[in-house]
Amino acid sequence: MNIAEIAKLAGVSSAAVSRYFNNGRISEEKREAIRRVVEETGYRPSVQAQTLRTRKTKMIGVIVPKVASASIGRVVEGILSVVNESGYQMLLSVTQNNPEKELEYLSVFNHKQVDGVILVATIFSEEHKQALRHMKVPVVIVAQELSGFPCVYHDDYRASYELTRLLFEKGRKILGYISAIREDRAVGEERFLGYRDAVRDLGYGCLAEHYVISSFAMESGYEKTGELLERFGRPDGLVCATDSIAIGAMQYLREHGFRIPEDVLVAGHGDSTLSRVTSPPLITVHYSYKESGEIAVQMLFELLNTGETAQREVKLGFYIREQ
Amino acid sequence: MNIAEIAKLAGVSSAAVSRYFNNGRISEEKREAIRRVVEETGYRPSVQAQTLRTRKTKMIGVIVPKVASASIGRVVEGILSVVNESGYQMLLSVTQNNPEKELEYLSVFNHKQVDGVILVATIFSEEHKQALRHMKVPVVIVAQELSGFPCVYHDDYRASYELTRLLFEKGRKILGYISAIREDRAVGEERFLGYRDAVRDLGYGCLAEHYVISSFAMESGYEKTGELLERFGRPDGLVCATDSIAIGAMQYLREHGFRIPEDVLVAGHGDSTLSRVTSPPLITVHYSYKESGEIAVQMLFELLNTGETAQREVKLGFYIREQ
DNA sequence: TCGGAAAGTGAAATCGATTACACAAAGGCT
DNA sequence: AGCCTTTGTGTAATCGATTTCACTTTCCGA
């Protein structure tokens, strides 16, 4: 069932049928005739033929490091809610934290597979920037600032600074920090710097150098807490780059006889469901992940329609959640 | 840059170029000439033109109720790992538990948007079955048994039966159950029935009717636990349809002076990360979600290639996790 | 009443691939 | 040598839409 058959049934030309679907000029009688035939046959124009002709795929590509993650899941949900409302489709690829796959998918999407790309990023190599510069379709970056590119991200630095300040305000004197890998700019680097600067500014005598580096797994948080204590002694406050790490830390501490929060106050980032179920609940930072996905799509659509975004960078707020 | 230009540059016909990319018969010299031109120009055939001509989109559609969920996230990750390895792409839609959207997306995918569909299902109305029967592209159903359709699911009934048996074996006498909505066949109905039958078979005098129905949210688990206690008195063992519900229940119990596990033993389903961070850890059932996604794609590919699956239904195993 | 603008229409070109068909050349077999 | 298969090749049709172009008709204002 193609446009020509519909045209014949309705007694019009295929151009008329095309105009019917694309709000072109068409007389009332023909419109009605076509409407009737379309209804009877259940005809729908072929998406692939339209795509071939118009060079618009009505799809956007999304690249994420993984999908079974609370924060990224929420970003994806935000993206999807806007995308589907607009009659677009979402093509999803996960890199499993493999930078090469990231480049590969960028290249695949670049080859006319999609109208635009949203990249939920963690790490940027020179190669990444090269690849991004050579993209023929617009790209919006989420979760990371990259100057010169449209991006939407959170103020991880200030969040971490404020979180650390809160621990000092609660009377803690000796802090420790468990970082994520520093190559991850937002989660690794920015959050660490926020912590470090807060300690330098507010922590009389407390050393910002008392930190270890963990992977994203809870188990790693557990392990690295042991390492932290061994190398730098016992803190009375512990800031962790993510909630998962913080939960691992809490478990280690509890198993080794520390009372929480009396002996050690533990804080994380992300406001994950996890953070609410521990007792006591973790002190954590809430980021609006879903919103960041929604905004990213809106920016992308703007780029698609006008060729540029008014707002090239969007920095989103946060709040600290206690209890 | 299209196939004709490449053909001209290489001094061959466009048919030869097409054969070059599709393993058609072609002489060694022409193959080499084309290879060189392709390399120099970076040419890649247009996916949309290929799709229009061959009627193969190399995309599969996936419909899920939500994506920011631990179990579904893992299913999606499993799907994606196989899909991307095979040079296919995944089109993802979330229904937000809205059955109408589910039908809508089925219809969209049915219209030649994708080669096949994977439906991560919760509820089946008559309309759903109708829609599924009228699909022109193959569909594989995940997380739910639907006879007559290819599906991959877990043995929720037996898992729940064994879990309940375990509580009895641990000496518990008076159990309670917090169910999910019964319309959800696997999570709501099957798990409840497994519990009920275990209680009837093994629980001398214990009443299977002591249950309440909760939504999937942790908060609802909290609330409904209060209702359960109020209506049916104090149990010494509590089985919950999901880990989230169980966590909510645990919080309620603890806040109301119950010791866990001494006074009440709490069990859930899903082996979520959540279940590991509570103290004591939840007793829970591990389902292989990622694997179910992988198997679903394999079944779909088989359907795509041969027109039928050897194994139309796959029932996956489980194990109970204590501590 | 006339002229130009606007509305409506269909034929045909176009997007960029795949593939049926016709045919030539080469190879293998009696 | 003669015949049949296999291999290699290009031309042209095809997939199913959109859109340019040329043209007719209608409308509106002076």
| Low-confidence winner among B18-27, B70-79, B300-309 (lowest mean pLDDT) | B300-309
Q: Which residue spans within chain A are E strands per DSSP?
A: 59-64, 89-94, 116-120, 139-142, 151-154, 175-179, 211-213, 237-240, 265-267, 284-287, 313-316, 318-321
Q: How many CB atoms lie within 10 A of CB A233?
A: 10
Region A41-47: mean pLDDT is 94
Bases of strand C lying below 7 A from some protein CB: 7-12, 14-20
| Cα separation, A46 vs A63, whole angstroms | 27
Neighbouring residues of A307: CB distance < 8 A, sequence distance ≥ 6: none
Q: How many CB atoms lie within 10 A of CB A85?
A: 9
| Nucleic strand C under 7 Å from the C-beta of A47 | no
Using alpha carbons only, how large is chain A's radius of gyration in Å? 26
Q: Which two tokens stand for residue A299?
A: 């920016």
| Nucleic strand C under 7 Å from the C-beta of B50 | yes
| Nucleic strand C under 7 Å from the C-beta of B14 | yes
Domain A156-287 has CATH 3.40.50.2300: yes
The DSSP secondary structure of B148-190, one letter per residue, reads: TS-EEEE-HHHHHHHHHHHHHHTT---EEEEEPPTTSIIIIII
Q: How far does A199 lie from chain B, in Å, by closest CA?
A: 29
Q: How many CB atoms lie within 10 A of CB A27?
A: 10
Q: Taking 80 as the threshold, does the pLDDT of residue A208 lie above it? A: yes
List chain B domain ranges.
Answer: 3-45, 59-154+289-316, 156-287
List of chain A residues whose C-beta atoms are within 8 Å of the C-beta of residue B117: none
pLDDT digits 0-9 by tens, B150-203: 999 999 999 999 999 999 999 999 999 999 999 999 999 999 999 999 999 998
Interchain contact B44–A (C-beta under 8 A): yes
List of chain A residues whose C-beta atoms are within 8 Å of the C-beta of residue B73: 67-69, 73
Chain B, nearest residue to A250 by Cα: B277
Residue A158's Cβ-count burial label (10 Å; 0-12, 13-18, 19+) is middle
A59·B279 Cβ contact <8 A: no
Would you say B119 and B283 are in contact if contact means Cβ atoms under 8 Å apart? Answer: no
pLDDT digits 0-9 by tens, A161-179: 999 999 999 999 999 999 9
pLDDT digits 0-9 by tens, B33-74: 999 999 999 999 999 999 999 999 999 999 999 999 889 999
Specify the DSSP class assigned to residue A188: I
pLDDT digits 0-9 by tens, B264-309: 999 999 999 888 888 788 999 999 999 999 999 999 999 998 877 7
Å between A313 CA and D22 C1'?
Answer: 49
Residues in chain A, total: 323
Q: How far is CA A22 from CA A26, A59, A253, in A?
A: 10, 18, 64
| Cα separation, B205 vs A164, whole angstroms | 56
Q: How far does B254 lie from chain A, in Å, by closest CA?
A: 10
Interchain contact A100–B (C-beta under 8 A): no
Neighbouring residues of A202: CB distance < 8 A, sequence distance ≥ 6: A164, A165, A168
| Low-confidence winner among A188-192, A259-263, B57-61, B275-279 (lowest mean pLDDT) | B275-279
Q: Decide: helix, strand or coil at residue B257.
A: coil
Can you say whether residue A177 is alpha, beta or left, with left for phi > 0 and alpha for psi between -120 and 50 degrees? beta
| Cα separation, B188 vs A140, whole angstroms | 40
Q: Decide: helix, strand or coil at residue B192.
A: helix
Q: Decide: helix, strand or coil at residue A165.
A: helix
> With b meaning 16 or more CB within 10 Å and e meaning fewer, what string describes A250-268?
bbbbbeeebebbeebbbbb
| Cα separation, B311 vs A140, whole angstroms | 43
Phi, psi of A315 (to 5 degrees): -105, 120
Residue among A240, A223, A265 at smallest CA distance from A188: A240
Q: Taking 80 as the threshold, does the pLDDT of residue A308 lie above it? A: no
SS3 content of chain A, % helix, strand, coil (to 5): 50, 15, 35
Shared fold status for B59-154+289-316 and B156-287 = yes
Write down the pLDDT at residue A204: 79
Handedness of CA A159, A160, A161, A167 (dihedral sign): positive
| Cα separation, A197 vs A218, whole angstroms | 26
Would you say A215 and A153 are in contact if contact means Cβ atoms under 8 Å apart? Answer: no
List of chain A residues whose C-beta atoms are within 8 Å of the C-beta of residue B131: none
Residue A210's Cβ-count burial label (10 Å; 0-12, 13-18, 19+) is middle
| Nucleic strand D under 7 Å from the C-beta of A49 | yes
Interchain contact A112–B (C-beta under 8 A): yes
Write down the pLDDT at residue B24: 87
| Cα separation, A192 vs B246, whole angstroms | 35
Handedness of CA A109, A114, A119, A124 (dihedral sign): positive
Write down the pLDDT at residue B18: 96
Residue among A198, A190, A202, A152 at smallest CA distance from A269: A190
B68·A59 Cβ contact <8 A: no
Can you say whether residue A171 is alpha, beta or left, with left for phi > 0 and alpha for psi between -120 and 50 degrees? left
Write down the pLDDT at residue A262: 94
pLDDT digits 0-9 by tens, A84-141: 999 999 999 999 989 999 999 999 999 878 999 999 998 888 999 999 999 999 999 9
CA of B52: nucleotide with nearest C1': D15
Write down the pLDDT at residue A168: 95
Å between A202 CA and D19 C1'?
Answer: 67
User: Angle, to 10 degrees, between the axis of helix A289-306 and the axis of helix A70-85?
Assistant: 40
One CATH from 3.40.50.1860, 3.75.10.10, 3.40.50.2300, 3.20.80.10 for A59-154+289-316: 3.40.50.2300
Residue among A123, A82, A117 at smallest CA distance from A100: A123
Q: How far is CA A291 from CA A71, A92, A243, A282, A284, in A?
A: 11, 18, 20, 23, 18
Residue matched to tokens 């802090």: A175
- Which residues of A, range 242-271, sit inside 8 Å of B by Cβ? 244, 247, 251, 254
| Cα separation, B227 vs B259, whole angstroms | 19
